């Protein structure tokens, strides 16, 4: 029963949203008296002067970010074995938890013409003025691609590390090495293809997200024109309800564009696979790639440094006083911004915390109930709300919820957050449940204990570490939600994420840094607590700390 409820809760809003966006797109919008079916809205989308560049930009950034993320992730995995992969697992958590918006702002403060990197170069070459170069918001979307790659590499590594054990990767590589192949060649020929097959769904998720991301595109992407998804959000925000029909048509176009790019990616997959197989048949040893992979592998040790750099630059800017170029440090530190923004920061953070705690708590309870039933939710169903572009169905879902009398507010936002949080929580807990040793249950049952006693006194205490981790992951995902909060909240629910992105268009850098820093802490903090809490709960039971 619970499994069916969860599936309906995940798939239902997507279907309702797609219907709700398709009808206005083809001319049916009774709320404004439009019931004349037609394709006028699609013609308006195509007639928009920036349509071609925006569509090309979305396709290019999506394909480039996904391809680079996969290549770097596979290079890292090929160079790491044993202890290297264990260290990688430890380093991934904080980088995974960092919201896209916080990473975007940190990159702005690092590589902008007046950022830290330019200031360092200025000290070496004697610049007195920042370079007149459009680094952030460049017309090719290169800074956006950089931000996406920084965020998606940890996600792909996390999914790949989970998929590696069943593939017997070590044995495959060992067999290839016995035939005279190097580490990199052995990994590409024996592991890369089956591993990619195992993580294909997450790869498509990354591709769809990279094409349609809104918050990071607002922060790092170009503005004249913006990406198609950002333009759709602008149409959605128009006070003219007729423009909502154009937004709906744009959302359908965006969905069709994503499907077309999926087809292109399938072709790229086929070509890459054939090249690898042909190279293997020819017996190429690819020694140069082997040396390159070792250099890339050394990058893993800098994951914590990258994380500290991101938080450090946000922290520094939030307390910075006057900071002229090319000085490496501000003239002084001040709490002025924190004092001025205390009210707004507290309100936004408390809203995010309430929503995150409620959504993560309900998602964790539902995940436990589903897993206790013994029936699994098919992975492709879990990925449906994640792989369908948010801009493609959230506008329709907003219209549908208004039609059935659901008002914009905290409760509506919590429900929509559940749609995006539940898949991550269930995926996090499912592995722990699959690895649980059922012999503990049989021993307790042999002693006459009931199902509920076994659940509360045996199973849940053993699984407390992954349960806490699943809750923390759910909270981090909820905190990072921008578009669902903005659209379904109707602008009435301000969270730390919506306020931070709203400041991106020209706010004071110190204010932006304070919001972005709190957003990052709100997302990462629970994961750090989840890592430490089992040690406090089971300080006398070492075996339960990593159960």
Q: For residue range 99-158, list pLDDT tens digits in order.
A: 999 999 999 999 888 888 888 988 888 888 888 888 888 889 999 999 999 999 989 988
User: 29 - beta bridge partners?
Assistant: 34
What is the rounded average pLDDT for all residues in the chain? Answer: 86
Q: Where are the alpha helices (DSSP H) in 80-141?
A: 83-97, 100-111, 116-125
Domains and CATH numbers, the chain: 1-38+335-547 (1.10.3720.10)
Q: Is the pLDDT of residue 87 over 70?
A: yes
Contact 420, 386 (CB under 8 A): yes
Residue 547 scores a pLDDT above 60: no
pLDDT at 280: 80
pLDDT of 25 > 70? The answer is yes
Q: Has residue 209 got a pLDDT over 60?
A: yes
Confidence check: pLDDT of 406 > 60: yes
Report how far Cα 20 is from the mean position of its chain's Cα atoms. 25
Per-residue pLDDT, 440: 85
28 has a pLDDT exceeding 60: yes
Which has the higher per-residue pLDDT, 351 or 399? 351
Q: Tell whether the model's pLDDT for residue 169 goes beyond 80.
A: no
Decide: 433 and 388 in contact? Cβ < 8 Å: no
C-alpha to C-alpha distance for 512 and 507, rounded to whole angstroms:
7
Strand partners, 333: 320
User: Span 348-362, mean pLDDT?
Assistant: 94
Span 461-473, pLDDT tens digits: 888 888 998 999 9
- What's residue 497's pLDDT? 92
Asked if residue 138 lies in contact with residue 222, where contact means CB atoms within 8 angstroms, the answer is yes
Q: What are phi and psi of 83, to 5 degrees?
A: -60, -30
pLDDT at 296 over 70: no
Look up residue 542 and give its DSSP letter: G
Q: Is the pLDDT confidence value at 322 over 70?
A: yes
Tell me, yes or no, if the pTM score tops 0.85.
Answer: yes
Separation CA 303–CA 300 (nearest Å): 5
Q: Would you place residue 482 in the very low, low, confident or very high pLDDT band (cuts 50, 70, 90)? A: very high
Please tell me the predicted confidence (pLDDT) of residue 239.
82
pLDDT at position 545 over 60: no
**pLDDT at residue 421, as a whole number:** 94
pLDDT at residue 376 is higher than 80: no
What is the model's pLDDT at position 161?
Answer: 85
Q: Kindly indicate the confidence band of residue 294, based on its pLDDT and cuts at 50, 70 and 90.
A: low
* Tokens read off for 268: 């790229």
List, for residues 441-460, the tens digit of each pLDDT value: 888 888 888 888 888 888 88
- Percentage of the chain beyond pLDDT 90 is 33
CB atoms within 10 A of CB 217: 29
The tens digit of pLDDT for each residue in 506-544 reads 768 899 999 999 999 999 888 888 878 877 776 666 666
Helix (H) or strand (E) holding 149: helix 142-163
Cis (ω within 30 of 0) for the bond into 447? no
Element (H, E) at 534: helix 509-537
| pLDDT band at residue 84 under the 50/70/90 scheme | low
DSSP 494: -
Q: How far lies 240's CA from each of 17, 166, 223, 232, 492, in Å?
A: 21, 54, 22, 14, 19
Ramachandran assignment for 409, one of left (phi > 0), alpha (psi -120 to 50 degrees), beta (any other) = left
125 CA to centre of own chain = 38
What pLDDT sits at residue 270?
93
CA distance linking residue 489 with residue 185, whole number of Å: 51
Alpha-carbon gap, residue 440 to 463, rounded angstroms:
12
Query: What is the model's pLDDT at position 81?
Result: 67
Count of residues making up the chain: 547
Yes or no: say if 426 and 473 are a contact pair by the CB < 8 Å rule.
no
Number of H helices and number of E strands within the chain?
28, 0
- Kindly state the average pLDDT of the residues 491-503: 89
Could you give the C-alpha distances from 176 to 80, 181, 309, in angstroms and in order?
16, 6, 39
The 3-class secondary structure across 340-370, one letter per residue, is HCHHHHHHHHHHHHHHHHHHHHHHHHHHHHH
Question: According to the model, what pLDDT value does residue 462 have?
Answer: 85
Given this model, what pLDDT does residue 205 score?
93
- Tell me what pLDDT residue 293 has: 63
Q: How far apart are the first and last CA of the chain?
A: 28
Phi (first) and psi of residue 383, to 5 degrees: -85, -10
């Amino acid at each position: 029963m619970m499994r069916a409820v969860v599936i309906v809760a995940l798939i239902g809003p997507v279907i309702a949203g797609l219907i709700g966006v398709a009808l206005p797109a083809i001319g049916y919008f009774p709320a404004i008296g439009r019931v004349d079916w037609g394709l006028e809205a699609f013609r308006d989308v195509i007639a928009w002067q920036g349509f071609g560049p925006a569509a090309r930009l979305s396709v290019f950034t999506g394909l480039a970010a996904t391809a680079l993320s996969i290549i770097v992730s596979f290079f890292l995995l090929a160079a790491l074995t044993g202890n290297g992969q264990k260290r990688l697992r430890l380093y991934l958590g904080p980088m995974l938890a960092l919201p896209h918006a916080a990473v975007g702002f940190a990159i702005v403060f690092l590589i902008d013409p007046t950022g830290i990197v330019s200031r360092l170069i200025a000290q070496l070459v004697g610049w007195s003025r920042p370079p007149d170069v459009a680094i952030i918001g460049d017309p090719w979307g290169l800074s956006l691609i950089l931000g996406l790659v920084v965020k998606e590499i940890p996600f792909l590594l996390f999914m790949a590390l989970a998929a590696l054990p069943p593939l017997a990767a070590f044995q495959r590589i060992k067999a290839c090495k016995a035939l005279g192949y190097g580490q990199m060649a052995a990994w590409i020929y024996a592991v890369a293809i089956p591993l990619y097959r195992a993580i294909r769904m997450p790869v498509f998720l990354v591709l769809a997200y990279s094409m349609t991301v809104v918050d990071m595109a607002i922060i790092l992407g170009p503005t004249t024109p913006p990406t198609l998804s950002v333009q759709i959000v602008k149409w959605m925000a128009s006070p003219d309800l007729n423009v909502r029909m154009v937004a709906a048509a744009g959302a359908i176009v965006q969905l069709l564009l994503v499907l077309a790019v999926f087809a292109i990616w399938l072709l790229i997959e086929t070509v890459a696979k054939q090249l690898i197989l042909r190279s293997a048949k020819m017996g190429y040893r690819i020694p140069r790639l082997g040396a390159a992979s070792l250099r890339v592998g050394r990058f893993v040790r800098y994951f914590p440094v990258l994380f500290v750099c991101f938080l450090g630059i946000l922290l520094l800017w939030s307390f910075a006083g006057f900071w002229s170029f090319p000085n490496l440090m501000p003239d002084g530190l001040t709490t002025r911004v924190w004092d001025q923004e205390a009210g707004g920061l507290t309100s936004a953070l408390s809203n995010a915390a309430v929503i995150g705690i409620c959504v993560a708590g309900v998602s964790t309870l539902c995940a436990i109930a589903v897993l206790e039933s013994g029936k699994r939710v098919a992975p492709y169903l879990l990925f449906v709300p994640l792989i369908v572009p948010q801009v493609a169905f959230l506008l329709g879902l907003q219209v549908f919820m208004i039609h059935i009398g659901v008002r914009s507010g905290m409760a509506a936002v919590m429900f929509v957050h559940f749609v995006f949080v539940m898949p991550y929580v269930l995926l996090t807990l499912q592995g722990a449940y699959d690895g649980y040793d059922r012999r503990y249950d049989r021993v307790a049952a042999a002693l006459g204990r009931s199902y509920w006693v076994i659940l509360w006194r045996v199973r849940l205490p053993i699984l407390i570490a992954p349960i806490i981790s699943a809750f923390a992951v759910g909270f981090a995902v909820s905190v990072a939600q921008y578009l669902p909060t903005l659209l379904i909240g109707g602008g009435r629910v301000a969270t730390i994420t919506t306020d931070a992105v709203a400041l991106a268009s020209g706010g004071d850098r110190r204010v932006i840094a304070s919001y972005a820093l709190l957003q990052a802490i709100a997302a990462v903090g629970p994961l750090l607590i989840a890592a430490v809490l089992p040690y406090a709960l089971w300080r006398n039971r070492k075996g339960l700390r990593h159960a």
